Amino acid sequence: MGAGKRGLLTAAVTVVCAVTVLAAPGTAFAAPTPPPTPSASATPVTTKDLEAVRKKLDDLYHDAAVATDEYNAAEEAADQQSAAIVALAKKIVKGQERLAELKKRAGAAAAAQYRTGGLPDEAQLMLSDDPEGFLDGAGRVIQGQRATKGLLAEMTRTQEDLKQYAEDASAQWGKLEANRKAKAAAKKKVKKQIAAAEELESKLEKEEKERLARLEQEAAYKAQTTWLDSGILDEINGKASAQGKKAVEYATAQIGKPYEWGAEGPKTYDCSGLTSQAWAAAGQPIPRTSQEQWKQLKKIDIKDMRPGDLIIYNSDASHVAMYIGKGAIVHAPRPGRTVTIAGAGSMPILAVVRPDA
């Protein structure tokens, strides 16, 4: 690799969904094959150079994952606000119909009062040819007056409700617009980070890409081995719940499908799109983003982990995977990868959460 090319590779930024070692549950996580010696005719690219590239790619994809979470959160909030606006609009329509009916009834009551001439009850009694009939009618008038007061009070309440609905709808519109802007900004950030990562990878020759992939595998293998060497797997023996089994079945059935940021299936997924849809299929709705899954779901000690539980990775909760047993996870890693099985300890674990606790 020339000096200009090497300089380009050594200038990038930060990532998320760290690449993990592929392995099926219950199988050994084999060490990657040593890289072949480069041919004498080619300018050798040192392992140090490729390691720097790997770290920069990790940083870029990490930033893309964080932005993806921001996008997903803004999209979810916007959907909720849109639904709230629709519900308020329905209330406003019903309120307006009710107010029109009340005004009609109030108008009829006013017309009836006008026909009596507005005379006091005593005068109407003296002028009446049928005093007994008048007294019966007077009782009904009193009832009518009470009803009219109730009618006017209901009209006032309805008008106040309509005013509040309008204010609530206006507030929701403001939030909706803010989340649309946040969603657009996050989308721009995601695309920028992914484009930078893809450009960086495009500068590598085929052999260098293969060596880079082996470095990724080596890093994941090393992390997984360290995690297993701690003896943690000897303590993990929890059995999946009925819902957990369904969630695992759904998630593992998606293996091989491409990662796509912001996607919730059925053809493509991002990391939290996979876990949220898997648990939705199991009959347990959970938050859409990895950060909200970490915040809202019950935390579980790693030794108490069971298949179906979610493992949250990185200090900023920017990645999530589903534990499937025997030290393995299923997850959607990052752009350019597919839903796959990996070692549960191949990335830095932040917490374990249980959707059906």
SS (H, E, C) 254-297: CCCCEECCCCECCCCECHHHHHHHHHHHCCCCCCCCHHHHHHHC
Nearest-angstrom CA–CA distance, 204 and 216: 15
* 62 flagged as catalytic: no
Rounded to whole angstroms, how far apart are CA atoms 290 and 332? 12
What phi and psi values does residue 287 have, to the nearest 5 degrees? -55, 155
Give Cα 302 distance to the centre of its chain.
Answer: 24
Residue whose pair of structure tokens reads 């950060």 in the numeric block: 291
Catalytic annotation, pick one of 18, 271, 300, 351: 271
Q: What is the DSSP string of 30-72?
A: PPPPPPPPPPTTSPPPPHHHHHHHHHHHHHHHHHHHHHHHHHH
- The encoded tokens of residue 25 equal 């549950």
What is the signed CA dihedral for 345, 347, 349, 352, rounded to 10 degrees? -70
Give the E-state strand segments of 81-175 in sequence order: none
CA atoms within 13 A on the CB side of 81: 19
Indicate which residue of 54, 331, 334, 354 is catalytic.
331
Of 62, 187, 319, 334, catalytic = 319
Say whether 17 is catalytic.
Answer: no
Which residue, 249, 287, 295, is CA-closest to 271?
287
With residue 329 as reference, give the H or E element that holds it. strand 328-331
Residue 286 phi, psi (nearest 5): -135, 165
Catalytic positions, written as ranges: 271, 319, 331
